[in-house]
Structures are given as structure tokens and as C-alpha cells.
A = this chain, B = another copy of it.
Amino acid sequence: MKQAFHTITVPTRGAGLYECTDAVAAFVREARIADGLLTCFVRHTSASLVIQENADPDVQRDLQDFFAHLATSGPRFRHTAEGPDDMPSHIRAALTQTSIGIPLHKGRLALGTWQGIYVFEHRAAPHRREVALHIIGE
């Protein structure tokens, strides 16, 4: 059995989806583990992970608009000290995913044809988001 660890940093410029499929695939190639499980884990509570369509960029824009609308459609927030976009960011993160596991078979991730891995930035200001990557297999 082998394991590989890596952390990628994804710079963001406001709320929206930032694809990191290529950086993840590069880590998988360099790890030289043909069969196993890849785990992606975002180390933040106001950014998250989603696997989404990477063909039409309008899908990512519509996702951003939907979540922006949804997360501000509820009751008033108590937690406002870190800015008006902070609590909606935690909500958007809770509604999406913190970790994603993807099987790796014969050197290929099980991703479907149109699936891309995205960091979903929920805050308005630019950030540097860390995604911890791990493979276990052989």
C-alpha cells in the first residue's frame, strides 16, 4: 500500500467557482498510484467543493447566482461582525461539500466526461484557498 499527500492553493477573486481539476490530476499522475481512492478536502468554512459541469461557463455563473440568492433569503443573521457576506458564506459551504472522494482505477479518476472539480468561493474578497489531497492505494 502507498499513500500520497499534497496541498494545493487556489487563489480566488470573489464569489464563484474556480476549477482545480488540472492541479488535482497532476498530483494523481505524480503520485504514481494506479488504483486507490483520492480525497479532496477544503480547509475552510466559507469556501467549499463541488463537482460540476465544465463545458458551459454559464453553468458556473448560474450556480453562483442561485447560491447568492438562496443564502440571503432566510431570517436575519446574528453573526455579522466579519461582514455581510460572511454568514451567507458559511451557509453556502454547509449546503455544498467539504470533502469529496473519487475512486482511481488503472491510473484514471472515475470522473465522468463533463465533471470538473471546483473550489466554490463564497466570500466577496480575494482569498487563497487550501485543498488537502490524499491518495491511498497501490
Contact = CB atoms under 8 A, between A and B. Distances in A.
Given A53-B90, A75-B69, A78-B58, A112 B5 contact: no
Contacts of A101: 39, 41, 99, 101
Given A43-B110, A43-B112, A96-B94, A81 B102 contact: no
A75 B65 contact: yes
17 contacts: A1-B1, A1-B138, A3-B138, A5-B35, A39-B102, A41-B101, A41-B103, A43-B111, A44-B112, A45-B51, A46-B53, A52-B94, A61-B79, A63-B90, A63-B94, A66-B91, A94-B95
Q: Is the interface of A mostly helix, strand, loop or mixed?
A: mixed
